[in-house]
Amino acid sequence: MQIFAAVSPSSSPKIKVSRMKAGFWESIRSGFLKNNTTQVIEPTSTLEEGEGPLPQEFVLVEKTHPDGSIEQIIFSSGGDVDVYDLQALCDKVGWPRRPLSKLAAALKNSYMVAALHSIRKSPEQFDDRKKLIGMARATSDHAFNATIWDVLVDPNYQGQGLGKALVEKLIRALLQRDIGNITLFADSQVVEFYRNLGFEPDPEGIKGMFWYPRY
């Protein structure tokens, strides 16, 4: 079963979304940042009016591991996602396999693709290869509306606040493009996750409707 959810401000697009919990980044610190060797690089944000533009790529989190290596989690919204890496990530989370050609088309035709990559550096060597650990994408009419799809995070990185950070940053990037109506379709078991990010199931009695082929 899928549930329709929407962030749909009536006058100011940014007021509604800024209702996200004030302790959003504190929740990340208490989750992903349990280890005091981990540091948030990007400053805190509550999507307030007048914020500067969000960079297309920046270090979201930096963590020092017990072996001395440093791991950086990088957020990007430039759409540079390798289709083979995405397929491998979908396999990790147990999603049904989709043809590579359709995955590539979905990425190409998306209005925005947000990704999380991991880069790990050790004292002995620096490996600058990016490992895809999360992705979300949005389609849009390029004027008023956007719909978020395919939010996924590597199981090895789940439960650390990264999914929330990914969606929050995607919303912020959409708002900065003056997209004021943001919707998504959520499975019943993750409705609360999106509710905590400011989404409301069936606001004002709006009902999502589906058309399926009849074979």
**Res. 163: pLDDT tops 50:** yes
pLDDT tens sequence across 116-145? 999 988 777 666 678 999 999 999 999 999
More confident: 128 or 14: 128
**Res. 53: pLDDT tops 70:** no
The mean per-residue pLDDT over the stretch 64-69 comes to 86
Return d(Cα 19, Cα 141) in angstroms, integer: 25
- Domains of the chain are 2-42+53-205 (3.40.630.30)
Q: For 205, left (φ over 0), alpha (ψ -120 to 50), or beta?
A: left
- Active site residues per annotation: 194
Averaged confidence pLDDT in the chain? 78
Decide if 148 contacts 167 (C-beta within 8 A): yes
| Other residues' Cβ atoms within 10 Å of the Cβ of residue 114 | 26
pLDDT band with cut points at 50, 70 and 90 for residue 75:
very high
pTM for the structure as a whole: 0.75
Return d(Cα 55, Cα 173) in angstroms, integer: 9
Return d(Cα 181, Cα 54) in angstroms, integer: 19
| 142 CB-contact burial (10 Å; exposed 0-12 / middle 13-18 / buried 19+) | exposed
Tokens of 151: 């939010």
